[in-house]
Amino acid sequence: MFMYPRRAIRIAIAATTLALSAGAPPADAVSARQSSQPRVIEVVARRYAFEPAQVEVVAGEPVRIMVRSGDGLHGFSVPKLRIKKEIPRGETVAIELTADTPGEFPILCSEFCGDGHEEMKGLLIVKTRPAKGQ
Ligand code: CUA
């Protein structure tokens, strides 16, 4: 019957203790934290369009929509999801969103920005979450 030398076992235990006390998180804790970070989607608002005009997310997926004004004041509004943010001149505004319901939700500019304001529209598409295991 094979036996590890007593001294080798003691060294292995010491190395494990050192790794834990150094504050290195276990590998699975790191990946869990990364997957809970929202996906970042960048949108530019400028007279008189959102670019891209269509934003696609998956139901239940946390996203952070970074809306930047490419010129003056605009608004980013998704009335059906009760989202309405001012996008001041030259600024970027972060909008955190986790859409629960699949569907298509119009995006509107909610601040008067000129002659084409009423035409300034986009579409948020919330896709059905794929079944587990796909
Ligand atoms: Cu852009 Cu109103």
Does 22 map to a domain?
no
Does 101 map to a domain?
yes
Express each pLDDT in 3-20 by its tens digit.
555 554 343 434 333 333
pLDDT of residue 87: 98
Backbone angles phi and psi of 131, in degrees to 5 = -65, 150
**Domain membership of residue 99 as a residue range:** 38-127
- C-alpha 99 – ligand 1 centre gap (Å): 24
Return the percentage of the chain with pLDDT > 90, whole number.
69
Does 75 map to a domain?
yes
Q: Which residues line ligand 1 (CB under 6 A)?
A: 74, 109, 111-113, 117, 120
pLDDT of residue 21: 40
pLDDT of residue 82: 96
Closest Cα to atom 1, ligand 1: which residue? 74
Does 72 map to a domain?
yes
Total domain count, the chain? 1
Mean pLDDT of the chain: 83
Check which CATH number belongs to the domain holding 104 and give it.
2.60.40.420
Whole-angstrom CA distances from 105 to 26, 41, 56, 80, 81 are 40, 16, 10, 7, 8
pLDDT of residue 14: 40
132 alpha carbon, distance to own chain's centre = 20
Express each pLDDT in 86-131 by its tens digit.
999 999 999 999 999 999 999 999 999 999 999 999 999 999 988 8
Does 3 map to a domain?
no
Does 85 map to a domain?
yes
pLDDT of residue 51: 98
Express each pLDDT in 57-78 by its tens digit.
999 999 999 999 999 999 999 9
Does 103 map to a domain?
yes
How many whole angstroms separate alpha carbon 55 and alpha carbon 72? 22
Does 95 map to a domain?
yes
The predicted model scores a pTM of: 0.72
